[in-house]
Chain A
Amino acid sequence: MSAPNKSYDPVEVEALKPEEIERMRDEALAAVAAAADLDALREVKAAHAGDRSPLALANREIGALPPHAKAEAGKRMGMARGAVNKAFAARQAELEAERDARVLVEEAVDVTLAYDRTPAGARHPITTLSERIEDVFVAMGYEVAEGPEVEAEWFNFDALNIAQDHPARAMQDTLFVQAPGTKAQASRHEAASGVVLRTHTSPVQVRTMLDREPPVYVICPGRVYRMDELDATHTPVFTQVELLAIDEGLTMADLKGTIEHMVRSLFGEGLTTRLRPNYFPFTEPSAELDMQCYVCRGESAGNPDRPCRTCSSEGWIELGGCGMVNPRVLTAAGIDPQKYSGFAFGFGIERLLMFRHNVEDMRDMVEGDVRFTRPFGMEI
């Protein structure tokens, strides 16, 4: 760098001559234009726009000029460097675009490749279907009640108006718990403990009535046990959902409307239900409940041209048993049958799953084969 020109004499600075600046600028522009790739451009940038480039070095000499010359030289210099930087940026963008176009093509992958790195999990459809039903009733204002699976006979039978020698007790083929301390070979009589594996979730209803003041609106899902052989349509351990409503002035019409609401929530609008008289000790009047077949909507009945697999062309699907809570049950649970009435309804989730999802063999729900369960995912 030249020393400051203190005497203000005009001094000719070779590097700042206009033609010299033009030459340096043109050289730089030519080099930028000639740079074939980003690496070359980076070198060009160092040579022509870096700290040690001719233009940068010349720029430092401006200080050596007398004041009146500084402005003009500065302006000329600025324009030259601006042109170079602009050309450089343009070339940089151009080359980057070229590179990106090339590299991104090279980086292309087959996004249809399968990705089964971690096998998928799933919840059991019995669980999710049971929850689905709970949600329908919870939305109506019901609460979900639970209770023990090993249950005292009083809750499972007596309180439900199933007396000791009632044929209904034999009907349900109960699994009895052995009294502690008795031998494995003890007779039924000796081993009687007054405790059973619950044969329905109705004991939960009794417990709920004992725990709460009416009105009571609960749904009781859970596992129940009956003496049965496992086959395509039976399992000795199955899942039941029962509902119980106790309030002033409840009627069979309320029962029918409530179940119709559930059926429509689960199977779609427009389906009707049908009650048929039946007998259960804990309800009086009692009924068997059918829903209109959601597949053929009843049109397969008596119509050989349109057979329906889901309802065996009956037009109706048997859902479960229901009725008005027997006032004797209310009495045993400490509820005044003069003031309150109630209805109850119960059905098996396994059967519901069978006809809602065309499950052909109930054993599939029991055996835990992951191929059966995985497609059901997290919700149903």
Chain B
Amino acid sequence: MRAPLSWLREYVDLPAGETGRDVQAKLIAAGLEVERVERLGDGLKGPLVVGQVLTIEELEGFRKPIRFCTVDVGTANGTGEPQEIVCGARNFSVGDKVVVVLPGAVLPGDFAIAARKTYGKTSHGMICSGEELGMGDDGTHGIIVLPQEYEPGTDAIELLQLVDEVLDIAVTPDRGYCLSMRGIAREAATAYGLPLRDPALLDVPAPNAFGYPVKVADPAGCDRFTARTVTGIDSEARSPIWLQRRLQKAGMRPISLAVDITNYVMLELGQPLHAYDRSRLDGPIGVRRAERGEKLTTLDGTKRVLDPEDLVITDNRGPIGLAGVMGGAETEIGDHAAGEGTTEVVIEAAHFDPVVIARAVRRHKLPSEASKRFERGVDPQAASAAAQRTADLLVLLAGGTAEAGVTEFAAPSGPRTIAMRADHPDRVAGVEYGRETVVRHLQEVGCDVYGQDELIVTVPSWRPDLTDPNDLAEEVIRLEGYENLPATLPAPPAGRGLTHRQRLHRRVGRALAGAGYVEVLNYPFVGDWALDHLGLEADDPRRTTVRLVNPLSEAEPALRTTMLPGLFTALRRNDSRGEHDLALFETGLVFLPTGEETTPVRLPVDRRPTDEEIAGLNAALPRQPRRAAAVLAGARELDGYWGKGRPAGWADAVEAGRTVAREAGAELIVRQDQRAPFHPGRCAAFYAVVDGAEVFAGSAGELHPRVVKAFGLPERTCAMEIDLDVLQQAGAGAVEAPQVSSFPVATQDVALVVDASVAAADVEAALRSGAGELLESLRLFDVFTGEQIGAGRKSLAYALRFRAADRTLTAEEASGARDAAVAAAVERTGAVLRGA
């Protein structure tokens, strides 16, 4: 809502020196979001005067038509002689009154005017358009042509009210009444402690039976409907300058007198109005829900199919307007220029249900000035005053006659009251205001207040947002000033710190960052193309996604079931920006449909839902486990003076998984696997034991070359993805401290030759189980393949360290344990002891 300061002063006698910034500060403190103050005519300096065009000479030979004019500007030019001015506009004739800026003047935007040579003539000033004067669009796209009544030489700065300040206010949904000058003036009056001249306080004749017939069939959707008729309108009458200027300053375009008046009254009182050309109405006006399949062409020229929920205004032919949203084209006020001048209008001032209007706006995607107000709640008591004000202005400005008939439908309703303890605002604020202050402020916002300790508060008709004691408390506290609230610190009960899960999440981030990975936070949106690029089979569960009705991008309409596509995109972006040695990680949720999602029932909000009802809501949601994932490309270690570097490889990716599992305290089982999007020979599957059963926890390895190509990644990019929730469940809990022996260690090395297909993890497991409890540690220190071993075979060399807690081991004991370890490996994996 744009509120011109000059207009505001009509209702409140603000101090004379008060600037827009001053008023802004006061209104902000009172809770109105005054986003900015526009200073109209800032820097404007005259002479800017009314002129009358005396002669027009059309200049030939230029690329566009140019006129050389003489203009009578009275004595504003000091000589009284006609002013010679070159002008490019064509929407004026000899004898027209125009606005002339003379040399020495400065127009908005620091545009200094001087006599200058142009098109072979000297132009002593300029004939002005509205745009040049900062007036906003008047729809003419030409210079301003004034009504004849103004004398040449009259100051046009004053006449056109060019200097003003406009408060631009973002009205929150609870303050619908501030979508009017009346509402803003009320706030300003309270803020300054000044009286308000309420423009809605008008003498309105009592309703009678002679008005235009109206039948409201849906009193729930339309609880009030006032109709007035004005006849004998001079269809050639134009909106006076003051009216046009106020509309322009408020951000609306002047159209025609009747339309301008309805818009003006809406801005003034907040009541949307509609004016029908009576000659185009066929029979009584009705208000009802639309019938299935009914159609309406709205004023914007769009033919709309109506929904049975739409509330419509009708005549005998059917719908003539979408109630509270937009009128129909058929009963539109005639355009005088098109020879369709309207001389009789029926004025509609009605009150519609906010929800009905909000739904219609959403269905038809048709927000309007009227619907914006109805959605936020219009003062139902203002309807008859608004109709009266409209009729008055039509009489005053268009020479019409208001008919005596006054139609008024009003569904019965009483005033709304709220019971509140007098100290409730004190208890909300933490400040002792006292009853007197509370009552005074409630009266300032328009409430009637009765009672002592227990107040009965009747709220004003324009404040549908006031329903609860806390609403009243807010009114009191804001008028006392939020800025005056003290600051106190409550003492919460002792807390338990972060949960295990939260600490795990932090540890995983630190461990991966410590290992050289940089965290990224990707959007969780994917498209089917990405799942295709991953090489997922048609029946891969990762293809079953949660899909969005209104995705941000049609290319990514679903939620991720794997973290990898987002990481690939981030990797590629970094690579394309010249960073090639990359290790990235992300932790976050993936979204896995259960296939059994239910549609949630709409639960009430006036009580706690039952546990079953909550379970019902949760059953509507997909599984949302937390994952950690990483990608690597380029060098893991760089070449340098220290020696050769090392490219990132599958082993780094697998190790990243192990790193995460270590933080979770979970034992990670690594198995050879073949799974998209990985290289079939370089893919590890992770498992962890949860409640005695092995559970799949993730994958790691080098990416399949096709995947690398599809995503445009660097060659041999590697990746890892692991489920943090599974690892958390598999976590061993508190670590049991090992017994550290101070007896000497006995080291034994063994090299075992196995078939190439035998997993090292299996060999290691066999060695461990065979070695028994004397084994302190075991380390794989070499893997060898070659002719000596034989094709399809590999040699695994392990260092075994034996130690006892209570004695120095003898050579026989250590050898015996080693032999037992080897024997287990021989038996389980077919290993052959090398060199034996």
Chain A contact residues, CB within 8 Å of chain B: 113, 115-124, 126-127, 131, 134, 138, 140-144, 146, 148-155, 158-159, 161, 164-168, 170-171, 175-180, 184, 186, 188, 191-195, 197, 210, 215, 217, 223, 227, 236-237, 245, 247, 249-254, 256-258, 260-261, 273-279, 284-288, 324, 326-328, 331-334, 341, 365-371, 373-374, 378
Number of A-B residue pairs at CB separation under 8 A: 299
The listed residue with most A CB atoms (<10 A of its CB), out of B468, B513, B573, B645, is B513
Write the chain A residue with the least CB distance to B479.
A277
Q: A189 → chain B, closest Cβ, in Å?
A: 9
Give me 7 other A-B pairs in contact (C-beta within 8 A), A217-B495, A254-B430 excluded: A117-B642, A118-B638, A177-B546, A179-B599, A251-B429, A274-B482, A275-B485
- Give the complex CA separation of A333 and B604 in angstroms: 11
Q: Is B496 an interface residue, CB under 8 A from the partner?
A: yes
Chain B residues near A149: list those with CB within 8 A: 524, 589, 591, 624
When the two chains form the complex, which single residue of A115, A158, A258 contacts B602, counting CB atoms closer than 8 Å? A158
Asked whether, in the complex, the Cβ of B173 is within 8 Å of the Cβ of A195, the reply is no
Spot the interface stretch: B398-406, B502-510, B814-822: B502-510
B600-615 CB contact bits vs A (8 Å, 1 = yes)? 1011011111000010
Q: Which residue of B lies closest to A191 (CB)?
A: B549
Query: Considering the chains assembled together, what is the distance between the CA atoms of A124 and B509 in angstroms?
Result: 9
Question: 1/0 contact trace for B507-523 toward A, CB 8 Å?
Answer: 00110111111111111
- The digit string for B175-196, where 1 denotes a CB below 8 A from any CB of A, is 1000000000000000000000
B599 and A285 contacting across the interface, CB-CB below 8 Å: no
Contact B605–A152 (Cβ < 8 Å): no
B620 surroundings in chain A (CB, below 8 A): 152, 193-195
Inter-chain contacts of B359 with A (CB < 8 A): 165
Report whether A366 and B485 are in contact in the complex, using a CB–CB cutoff of 8 Å: no
Residues of B within 8 A of A333 (CB): 608
Q: Is B33 an interface residue (CB 8 A)?
A: yes
Collect the chain B residues with CB atoms within 8 Å of residue A367's CB. 570, 573
Interfacial chain A residues near B606, Cβ < 8 Å: 331-332
Identify the closest chain B residue to A168 (Cβ): B173
Query: Is A251 touching B509 in the complex (CB atoms < 8 A)?
Result: no
Q: Does B62 contact A (CB under 8 A)?
A: no
A284 near B600 (CB under 8 angstroms)? Answer: no
| A328 touching B521, Cβ below 8 Å | no
Known: A141-B493, A328-B605. Is A370-B574 also a contact (CB below 8 A)? yes
**B490–A254 touching, CB < 8 Å:** yes
Docked CA distance A252–B486 (Å): 8
Which residues of the other chain, A, contact B533 by a CB distance below 8 angstroms?
A: none
> Which 3 A-B pairs have CB atoms at the shortest separation, nearest pair first?
A334-B608, A277-B31, A251-B430
Q: Which B residues touch A373, using CB under 8 A?
A: 518-520
Of A123, A127, A249, A368, most buried by chain B (CB within 10 Å of CB) is: A368
Known A170-B362, A193-B599, A277-B30; contact A245-B490, beta-carbon cutoff 8 A: yes
A288 to chain B, nearest CB (A): 8
The answer to whether B496 touches A143 (Cβ under 8 A) is yes
State A121–B514 Cα separation when bound (angstroms).
6
B621 cross-chain contacts in A, Cβ below 8 A: 148, 150-152, 195
Give A108 to B641 CA distance when docked, in angstroms.
15
Check A324 against B618 for contact (C-beta < 8 Å): no
Cβ–Cβ contact A194 & B510, under 8 A: no
Q: Which residue of B lies closest to A134 (CB)?
A: B498
With both beta carbons as reference points, the residue of chain A lying nearest to B617 in the complex is identified as A152
Q: Give every chain A residue within 8 A of B552 (Cβ-Cβ).
A: 175, 227, 236
Asked whether B602 lies within 8 Å of A251 as measured between CB atoms, the reply is: no
Name which residue of chain A comes closest to B32, CB basis.
A277
Chain B contact surface mostly: loop
Chain B interface bracket (under 10, 10 to 19, 20 to 34, 35 or more): 35 or more
Write the B612-636 contact mask toward A (1 if CB under 8 angstroms, else 0). Answer: 0010011011101000000000001
Inter-chain contact B487/A260, CB cutoff 8 Å: yes
Interface: B548 (CB within 8 A): yes
A150–B624 contact, CB under 8 A? yes
Q: Cβ of B355 < 8 Å from any Cβ of A?
A: yes
Contact: B492 with A368, CB < 8 Å?
no
Query: Quick one: closest B residue to A131, CB to CB?
Result: B506
**Once the chains are docked, how many angstroms separate the CA of A124 from the CA of B473?**
42
Does A180 contact B597, Cβ atoms closer than 8 Å?
yes
**Inter-chain contact B428/A324, CB cutoff 8 Å:** yes
Of B204-212, B264-272, B580-588, B697-705, the segment with at least 4 beta carbons within 8 Å of chain A is B580-588
Bound-state CA distance A258–B585 (Å) is 35
Please determine whether A121 and B515 come into contact, CB atoms closer than 8 angstroms. yes
Cross-chain contact A116 with B519 (CB below 8 angstroms): no
A328 to B494, CA, bound (A): 28
In the complex with contacts A138-B498, A332-B606, A253-B430 CB distance below 8 A: yes
Contact present for B516 and A118 (CB under 8 Å): yes
B488 in the interface (beta carbon within 8 A)? yes
Q: A252–B477 contact, CB under 8 A?
A: yes
Report 28 cross-chain contacts, Cβ distance below 8 Å, ordered by A residue: A117-B642, A117-B645, A127-B509, A141-B492, A144-B499, A148-B589, A167-B358, A167-B375, A168-B173, A176-B548, A180-B597, A184-B547, A193-B620, A195-B621, A210-B608, A251-B429, A253-B429, A256-B488, A257-B486, A275-B482, A276-B482, A277-B474, A287-B482, A328-B468, A341-B428, A367-B573, A370-B582, A378-B513
**Closest chain B residue, CB of each to CB of A166:** B173
Q: Which residues of B contact A164 (CB under 8 A)?
A: 355
Q: Give the shortest distance, in Å, between B559 (CB) and chain A (any CB).
A: 7
Q: A184-B547, A275-B483 are in contact. Are A332 and B173 (CB under 8 A)?
A: no
**A119 contacts B638, CB within 8 Å?**
yes
Contact between chains at A175 and B489 (CB < 8 Å): no
Contact of A277 among B478, B517, B548, B605 (CB under 8 A): B478
Q: A158-B602, A178-B547, A278-B33 are in contact. Are A119 and B583 (CB under 8 A)?
A: yes
Q: B710 on the interface (CB 8 Å rule)? A: no
CB distance from B688 to the nearest CB of A (A): 22
Q: Indicate if the CB atoms of A194 and B600 lie closer than 8 Å.
A: yes
Set of chain B residues within 8 Å of A251, measured between Cβ atoms? 427-431, 488
Beta-carbon contact of B470 and A285 below 8 Å: yes
- Is residue B28 within 8 Å, beta carbon to beta carbon, of the partner chain? yes
Does chain A have a CB within 8 A of B172?
yes
Using Cβ atoms and an 8 Å threshold, which residues of chain A touch B488? 251, 253-254, 256-257
For the complex formed, measure the closest distance between the CB of B552 and the CB atoms of chain A, giving whole angstroms.
5
Q: Does B497 reach chain A (CB closer than 8 Å)?
A: yes
Indicate whether B471 reaches chain A with its CB closer than 8 angstroms.
yes
Cβ of B43 within 8 Å of any chain A Cβ, yes or no, is no
A127 to B471, CA, bound (A): 37
A215 and B514 within 8 A (CB): no
Which of A126, A154, A165, A176 makes the CB contact (< 8 A) with B549? A176
**Residues of A with C-beta under 8 A to B175:** 279
Residues in A neighbouring B497, C-beta threshold 8 A? 138, 143
Q: How far is the CB of B104 from chain A (nearest CB, A)?
A: 29
List, in ascending order, chain A residues with CB within 8 A of B548's CB: 175-178, 197
Interfacial residues of chain B within 545-602, with CB under 8 A of chain A in the complex = 546-552, 557, 559, 570, 573-574, 577, 579, 581-585, 588-589, 591, 593, 595, 597, 599-600, 602
Q: Do A121 and B583 touch across chains, with their CB atoms under 8 A apart?
A: yes
Interface contact A253-B520, CB-CB below 8 Å: no
CB distance from B597 to the nearest CB of A (A): 5
Q: Report which of B516, B570, B607 forms a contact with A119, defined as CB distance below 8 A.
A: B516
- Do residues B573 and A369 form an inter-chain contact, with CB atoms below 8 A? yes
Contact between A154 and B603 (Cβ–Cβ < 8 Å)?
Answer: yes
List chain B residues, Cβ under 8 A from A188: 549-550
Chain A nearest CB, measured from B759 CB (Å): 28
Decide: B520 and A124 in contact? CB cutoff 8 A: yes
Q: Is the CB of B512 within 8 A of A254?
A: no
Question: Among the listed A287, A328, A368, which residue makes an inter-chain contact with B573, where contact means beta carbons less than 8 Å apart?
Answer: A368
Q: Which residues of A contact B468 (CB under 8 A)?
A: 284, 326-328
Q: Give, as a whole number of angstroms, the nearest-CB distance from A169 to chain B.
A: 9
Closest to B571 in A: A368
Check A285 against B430 for contact (C-beta < 8 Å).
no
Please pick, from B495, B588, B591, B597, the residue contacting A143 in the complex, using a CB distance under 8 A.
Answer: B495
State whether A249 touches B427 (Cβ < 8 A): yes
Q: A124 — which chain B residues lie within 8 A by C-beta? A: 519-521
Which B residues are CB-close (under 8 A) to A184?
547, 557
